[in-house]
A = this chain, B = another copy of it.
């Protein structure tokens, strides 16, 4: 059975070209970039090249890019780093109720340390109202963190508008762009952000590497203290193969971004329409238009998400759900609850996220496979009979 992977938002396979670019840095050009002999200097050059590529993609300067171990570290560095370094200026942070855990949990940690955090609500499509940001700003606000594209429901937030508000108020603005970098334009100046997080494994790069954009002049403490690496902003021997991989992934992403986004949007819409046609008692989650090109998120009434995911897996289709399934809490996705879905619908959600290697046939297969599964599960459901 060939597997159909439709969970690219969870992680992407590393592009073979990326792996190829990384390979020499494991044991040929393997020196420590801090070393002064040529073995070391060669890896330093490779890092500089990757840095330029990443900076280029988001219209930043090379020295504004700090490599991290992934999106979560970038988010933690931005949020805790700004909070700790600007304590004397204020103790208030504004974020949204649909952020990734890598943003929410650092905020909760800071609350326990005495900071105040406003979690802005979103509308039924998952949009943050820029006006609500403006209203939430106080004299004590030191940071606003609103994600660029939501990883669950695919909604793209009005970052540029919020960026203007933040700039006017003189408040640092961070965006978690883990789901957008390499997929849709992410120009730090157009978006008006001071900090931006990205993660390689969401754009066909390797797991365990990411980057934080830090606008020149932004005051923040490092999360990992130690050596002089990354100009003292992030200690630790550089993950050279990983960084080279991120650079290569960014290069590949930049090459065909517009075409790929169009291709994926077409497949996405085909899947959305097909599901609406073939499955009654279902609804699309997230914004119908301001939406990541690769994201389809639907709630199927009367049945639970994990059981659908498992059945699809048995048919060779990989996707995910916002159901509580594997988390130790029994709560479904906070994002789905934030857009006012009932618990039942939140537990009954399915997310398909498309990528490079998906074809129209994949979509057909899903559309042909899913209705049978749903019928079988609905026949088992004590909720369905009540409809």
Give A residues with C-beta under 8 Å from B: 3, 5, 7, 10-16, 18-19, 23, 26-28, 30-32, 34-40, 68-73, 75-76, 100-106, 108-109, 199, 201, 206-209, 221, 223-228, 235-242, 306, 309-310, 312-313, 318-320, 325-328
Contacts and interface: CB of A to CB of B under 8 A. Distances in A.
A303 to B, nearest CB: 16
- Scoring A10, A75, A108, A221 by chain B CB atoms within 10 A of each residue's CB, the highest score goes to A10
Contacts of A238: 207-208
A35 to B, nearest CB: 6
Oligomeric state, in number of copies?
2
A71 B236 contact: yes
A198 to B, nearest CB: 13
A320 B33 CA distance: 12
A5 B71 CA distance: 34
Given A30-B14, A75-B226, A327-B228, A236 B36 contact: no
Contacts of A103: 226
Nearest to A313: B37
14 contacts: A10-B31, A10-B32, A10-B35, A11-B30, A16-B27, A31-B318, A36-B309, A36-B326, A37-B310, A69-B69, A76-B235, A101-B235, A104-B226, A199-B237
A75 B109 CA distance: 20
A247 B317 CA distance: 30
Contacts of A34: 10, 326
Nearest to A234: B72
Contacts of A38: 313
A75 B224 CA distance: 9
Given A15-B27, A71-B236, A208-B208, A223 B318 contact: no
B32 A27 contact: no
B76 A318 contact: no
Nearest to A320: B35
Contact of A37 (B23, B318, B328): B318
A225 B318 contact: no
Q: What 6 A-B pairs are tightest by C-beta distance, nearest first? A: A208-B239, A69-B69, A102-B226, A105-B225, A72-B236, A37-B313
Contacts of A306: 36
A9 to B, nearest CB: 9
